[in-house]
Structure formats: C-alpha cells, structure tokens
Amino acid sequence: MIAKCPCGNGAYASCCGPLHVVERPAETAEELMRSRYSAFVLGHEDYLTITWHPRTRPSTLELPDRTWTGLEIVDTVDGGQDDIEGIVEFIARYRGGEQRERSIFSRRAGRWVYVHAV
C-alpha cells in the first residue's frame, strides 16, 4: 500500500486514492490534475482514460517510461467547485527532466475532465 500520495499533497488514502477507485470525483480542476499525475506515476491507465474528455482523448494510451519524482503546481485559473472550466499550470519532474504544461479542464456531466494542453 502507498502511504504518501505521489502528488505530494498528503496521504494517498485520503488524497488521490479515493479518486482512483472512483469513490468520489475530483472537486476542483487542480485536484483532478493532481490525481492524474498520481495515476501516471502509478500506471492507472483506466483512470487517465475516464478523466480525459472524449473529444480529445487518444484512442490508445501509452504511458511514458519515466520515473516520476515530483509535482509542482505553478498556477491555477478558475477550476473551483462552482466553475465549469479551469486551467492548471504545472511542472511534473522525472528522473532526467521535467514536463511543464498548462492544461485546460472542464466539467462534463458534473465531473472534471482533462481537455488538452495549451
């Protein structure tokens, strides 16, 4: 069992864990982004698929072969509990590099989904 959440925001059992087993949906765009990062770290392809907007989701998903080392949230714009869209800018670090992205999220049927990077 994982003790610390890969997203760096607390214990896995009370952070991204409940989202990964679809016990509850993400309340904010940032929470969804954090849970998606953790899903990349842990290899939860199904979770990544169901939290990706169907209009922009690839037909197959191949996870990069990386050892992820940390997540830093750089900026958030909207994406709160009462919003329908949000932007989260982050840096996902991995052994040998980093991925910087500014991502768009939207609510679809009341649940946050990843749309695309800008």
C-alpha span between 24 and 27 (Å, rounded): 9
C-alpha span between 87 and 104 (Å, rounded): 5
Look at residue 3 and tell me if it is in a domain.
no
Q: Is-contact 7 71, C-beta < 8 A?
A: yes
Handedness of CA 31, 33, 38, 42 (dihedral sign): positive
In the chain the first and final C-alpha atoms are separated, in Å, by 35
pTM of full prediction above 0.85: yes
Look at residue 31 and tell me if it is in a domain.
yes
Low pLDDT (below 70) residues in the chain: 1
Look at residue 112 and tell me if it is in a domain.
yes
Look at residue 47 and tell me if it is in a domain.
yes
Here the CATH number for the domain that contains residue 64 is 3.10.450.50
- Determine the pLDDT at residue 1: 63
